[in-house]
């Protein structure tokens, strides 16, 4: 199967996976909010936040390394799976030793549920590892199946334990632990990942110098994975720190408006995250093959056209979309949506160029560029808020994300030369900036001006994509990949 067809099939499968997970999450919210108090629901939300932050730190991002190295070296895939299993197991011991810290007030009473929290972390960490190992071993069809099993069991057990037995927080923790645990067992048995792990263990311990073998496996994996850990933390700083500045300089109400305005633009990142899982897998599989530059360029140009037009369309429809999603005083935040759409667009491009470094195993530069973005956001946000108000924070976010994109787009050419199509992209960004400006300032006939920007972007991206296809002959070569 060609690289392009692989990408399309994988995207469809990961989309099914995302639908299964997010649909159940959406359906469970009314259950939680009906049977739990605000404090109890806050504890469950805090547990999700802590687990998401602790997992890459405690596991050393070994799941990300496992999928990359399994694809890179098929002859040692069982050994890489074994190393991932051992590191994840050790992470549970580390988290267990750190659970007394949950008694701190900042965790809002999560310390009363240490054992439940540990079980939730363990099942989540192993499910993540198994899904990445399955991804690396080509068991893509199993991923949405296991995700569906996990979501279904989580949902049923939540309705029984929380709604039927009134167990609230305890019922929540049990349900979010049992679902992933059963899915992990399916991975280990039906997906034969357990057999692979045991095979890897036998291979490692069959060598004369076991310590040397473990070092040969671990060192490259950690060299790849460790830069991804601070990258995730600095990414959080770069995308969330502006809320603290808004709260301190304008007030908590302004921070609420900013958060509300960002909900719809964040859908761009949610949709892209589905594509990203498939794209990473395809990029890893195509690594080292002839025509990698053309493959990356073709996918980026299509992604650029689709996301740019979608961004402009949402910006044009923002006043009407906001009537559905932003109620009461939150509706006044809709003009900021256009600026935040540009920030999210840049974040999508940043993520795409980040795969250049993960594909070529130069992950340290991802961390460096993310730090640049976080630092610029920290500097620009307090400087622009006094001048532009809440919109200043939106502009700071967009500029910092754009800076990271430019740096990555230029530097990544050392490894993979991606034809960005700068004239088309710059003209598109200028049109998006104009569309954002008219949304914020709202001069006479601003809706007509916004619509004109949308039409201009559609025309520019369409012509740019046609020129790229004609000059590169990209799609004529699909069948030969």
pLDDT number for residue 473: 62
pLDDT band at 128 (very low <50, low <70, confident <90, very high): very high
Distances in Å between the Cα of 213 and the Cα atoms of 205, 206, 408 are: 9, 10, 35
Instruction: Please check whether residues 341 and 420 belong to one and the same domain.
Output: yes
Instruction: Please check whether residues 138 and 233 belong to one and the same domain.
Output: no
* Lowest mean pLDDT, pick from 115-129, 148-162, 328-342, 391-405: 328-342
Instruction: Please check whether residues 413 and 475 belong to one and the same domain.
Output: yes
Instruction: Please check whether residues 299 and 186 belong to one and the same domain.
Output: no
Which of 121-130, 228-237, 326-335 has the largest mean confidence? 121-130
In angstroms, what is the C-alpha Rg of the chain? 23
pLDDT one-digit tens code per residue, 364-380: 888 888 888 888 988 99
pLDDT one-digit tens code per residue, 146-164: 988 999 999 999 999 998 8
Report the C-alpha gap between 446 and 451 in whole angstroms: 9
Structurally, how many domains does the chain consist of? 2
pLDDT one-digit tens code per residue, 188-197: 999 999 999 9
Q: What is the mean pLDDT of the chain?
A: 87
pLDDT one-digit tens code per residue, 339-357: 999 999 999 999 999 999 9
Owning domain of residue 13: 3-222
The candidate with the shortest Cα–Cα distance to 347, out of 403, 293, 284, 295, is: 403
Phi and psi, residue 31, nearest 5°: -65, -50
Report the C-alpha gap between 437 and 434 in whole angstroms: 5
Ramachandran class of 305: left when φ > 0, alpha when ψ lies in -120 to 50, beta otherwise: alpha
Q: Of 222, 241, 258, which marks where a domain is finished? A: 222
SS3 361: coil
Query: Rounded to two decimals, what is the model's pTM?
Result: 0.81
Res. 237: pLDDT tops 80: no
Instruction: Please check whether residues 242 and 337 belong to one and the same domain.
Output: yes
pLDDT number for residue 66: 94
Res. 22: pLDDT tops 90: no
- How much of the chain exceeds pLDDT 70, in percent? 93
pLDDT number for residue 10: 77
- What is the number of other CB atoms lying within 10 angstroms of the CB of residue 326? 20
Instruction: Please check whether residues 293 and 411 belong to one and the same domain.
Output: yes
- Neighbour-count burial for 219-256, b at 16+ CB within 10 Å, e otherwise: ebbbebbbbbbbbbebbebbbebbbebbeebbeeebbb
SS3 387: helix
Which is more confident, 50 or 133?
Answer: 133
Instruction: Please check whether residues 367 and 412 belong to one and the same domain.
Output: yes
Task: State mean pLDDT over 420-445.
Answer: 93
Q: Which residues have C-beta within 8 Å of that of residue 84, sequence separation ≥ 6?
A: 62, 63, 65, 66, 129, 132, 133
Instruction: Please check whether residues 130 and 240 belong to one and the same domain.
Output: no
Instruction: Please check whether residues 249 and 148 belong to one and the same domain.
Output: no
- What is the number of other CB atoms lying within 10 angstroms of the CB of residue 208? 6
Segments of 287-420 assigned E as strands: none
Burial class (CB in 10 A: 0-12, 13-18, 19+), 290: exposed
Q: Of 222, 238, 271, which marks where a domain is finished? A: 222
Structure-token pair, residue 278: 């498939």
The candidate with the shortest Cα–Cα distance to 22, out of 164, 130, 144, is: 144
Instruction: Please check whether residues 327 and 193 belong to one and the same domain.
Output: no
Q: Of 160, 189, 222, which marks where a domain is finished? A: 222
Instruction: Please check whether residues 450 and 315 belong to one and the same domain.
Output: yes
Instruction: Please check whether residues 170 and 50 belong to one and the same domain.
Output: yes
pLDDT band at 83 (very low <50, low <70, confident <90, very high): very high
């Amino acid at each position: 199967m060609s690289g392009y067809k692989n990408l399309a099939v994988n995207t469809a499968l990961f989309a099914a996976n995302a639908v299964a997970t997010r649909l159940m999450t959406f359906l469970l919210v009314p259950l939680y909010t009906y049977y739990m108090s605000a404090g109890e629901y806050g504890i469950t939300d805090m547990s999700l936040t802590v687990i998401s932050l602790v997992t890459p730190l405690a596991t050393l991002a070994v799941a990300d390394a496992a999928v990359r190295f399994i694809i890179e070296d098929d002859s040692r895939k069982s050994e890489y799976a074994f190393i991932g299993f051992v590191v994840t197991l050790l992470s549970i011991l580390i988290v267990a030793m750190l659970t007394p810290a949950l008694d701190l007030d900042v965790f809002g009473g999560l310390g009363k549920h240490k054992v439940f929290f540990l079980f939730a972390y363990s099942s989540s960490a192993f499910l993540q590892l198994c899904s990445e190992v399955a991804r690396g071993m080509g068991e893509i069809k199993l991923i949405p199946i296991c995700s569906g099993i996990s979501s279904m069991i989580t949902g049923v057990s939540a309705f029984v334990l929380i709604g039927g037995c009134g167990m609230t927080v305890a019922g929540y923790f049990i349900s979010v632990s049992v679902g992933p645990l059963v899915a992990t067992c399916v991975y280990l048995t039906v997906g034969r990942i357990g057999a692979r792990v045991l095979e890897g263990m036998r291979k490692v311990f069959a060598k004369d110098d076991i310590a040397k073998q473990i070092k040969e496996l671990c060192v490259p994996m950690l060299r790849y994975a460790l830069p991804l850990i601070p990258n995730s933390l600095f990414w959080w700083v770069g995308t969330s720190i502006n809320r603290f500045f808004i709260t301190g300089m304008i007030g908590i109400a302004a921070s609420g408006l900013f958060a509300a305005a960002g909900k719809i633009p964040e859908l761009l990142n949610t949709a892209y995250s589905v594509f990203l899982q498939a794209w990473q897998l395809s990029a890893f599989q195509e690594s080292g093959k002839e025509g990698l530059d053309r493959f990356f360029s073709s996918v980026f140009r299509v992604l650029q056209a689709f996301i740019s037009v979608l961004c402009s369309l949402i910006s044009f429809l923002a006043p009407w979309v906001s009537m559905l999603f932003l109620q009461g005083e939150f509706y006044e935040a809709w003009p900021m949506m256009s600026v935040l759409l540009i920030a999210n667009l840049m974040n999508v491009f940043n993520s795409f160029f980040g795969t250049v470094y993960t594909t070529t195993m130069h992950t340290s530069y991802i961390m460096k560029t993310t730090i640049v973005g976080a630092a610029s956001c920290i500097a620009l946000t307090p400087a622009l808020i006094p001048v532009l108000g809440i919109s200043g924070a939106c502009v700071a976010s967009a500029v910092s994300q754009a800076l990271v994109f430019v740096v990555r787009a230029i530097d990544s050419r050392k490894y993979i030369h991606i034809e960005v199509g700068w004239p088309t992209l710059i003209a598109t960004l200028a049109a998006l900036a104009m569309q954002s400006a008219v949304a914020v300032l709202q001069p006479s006939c601003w809706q007509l001006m916004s619509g004109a920007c949308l039409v201009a972007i559609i025309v520019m991206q369409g012509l740019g994509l046609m020129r790229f296809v004609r000059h590169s002959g990209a799609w004529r070569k699909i069948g030969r990949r």
